Amino acid sequence: AAGVIQSPRHLIKEKRETATLKCYPIPRHDTVYWYQQGPGQDPQFLISFYEKMQSDKGSIPDRFSAQQFSDYHSELNMSSLELGDSALYFCASSLRAGRLGRVTQYFGPGTRLLVL
Amino acid sequence: GQQLNQSPQSMFIQEGEDVSMNCTSSSIFNTWLWYKQDPGEGPVLLIALYKAGELTSNGRLTAQFGITRKDSFLNISASIPSDVGIYFCAGQSAGAQKLVFGQGTRLTINP
Three-class DSSP labels, B44-94: EEEEEECCCCCEEEECCEEEEECCCCCEEEEEECCCCHHHCEEEEEEEECC
B35-43 average pLDDT score: 94
Q: Do A104 and B48 touch (CB under 8 A)?
A: yes
Considering chain B, what is the average pLDDT of its residues? Answer: 94
Sheet arrangement for strand B71-76: B4-7, B19-25, B71-76, B61-65, B55-58
Assign B110 a pLDDT band (cuts: 50, 70, 90).
confident
The pLDDT value recorded for residue B1 is: 58
- A43: chain B residues, CB-CB within 8 Å: 43, 88, 99, 101
CB-CB under 8 Å, B92 with A43: no
| pLDDT of B55 | 97
Q: What percent of chain B has pLDDT over 90?
A: 89
Q: Do B50 and A43 touch (CB under 8 A)?
A: no
Mean pLDDT, residues B23-51 taken together? 95
Of A42, A106, A109, the CB nearest to B88: A42
CA distance B52 to B60: 21
Judged by a CB distance cut-off of 8 A, whether residue B105 touches chain A is no
CA distance B105 to chain A (A): 10
Tally A–B CB contacts below 8 A: 58
Assess contact for B79 and B17: CB atoms under 8 A.
Answer: yes
With 80 as the cut, is the pLDDT of residue B40 above it? yes
Which is nearest to B32 in space by CA: B87, B80, B106? B87
Asked whether B64 and B45 are in contact (CB, 8 A), the reply is no
The whole-number pLDDT of residue B94 equals 84
Q: What is the pLDDT of residues B53-101, one digit of tens each?
A: 999 999 999 999 999 999 999 999 999 999 999 999 999 988 788 999 9
In a 10 Å sphere around its CB, with 0-12 CB exposed, 13-18 middle and 19+ buried, how is residue B26 labelled? exposed
Asked if B50 and A102 come within 8 Å (Cβ–Cβ), the reply is: yes
CA–CA min distance A17, chain B (Å): 24
Distance CA B46, CA B35 (A): 5
Query: Is 80 exceeded by the pLDDT of residue B102?
Result: yes
A-chain CB neighbours of B40 within 8 Å are 88, 110, 112
Between chains, do B97 and A42 touch, taking CB under 8 Å as contact? no
Residue B111 has pLDDT above 90, yes or no: no
CA atoms within 13 A on the CB side of A10: 2
**Residue B78 C-alpha, separation from nearest chain A C-alpha, in angstroms:** 26
Tell me the mean pLDDT per 10 residues along chain A, length 116: 93 98 95 95 95 91 96 97 97 78 89 98
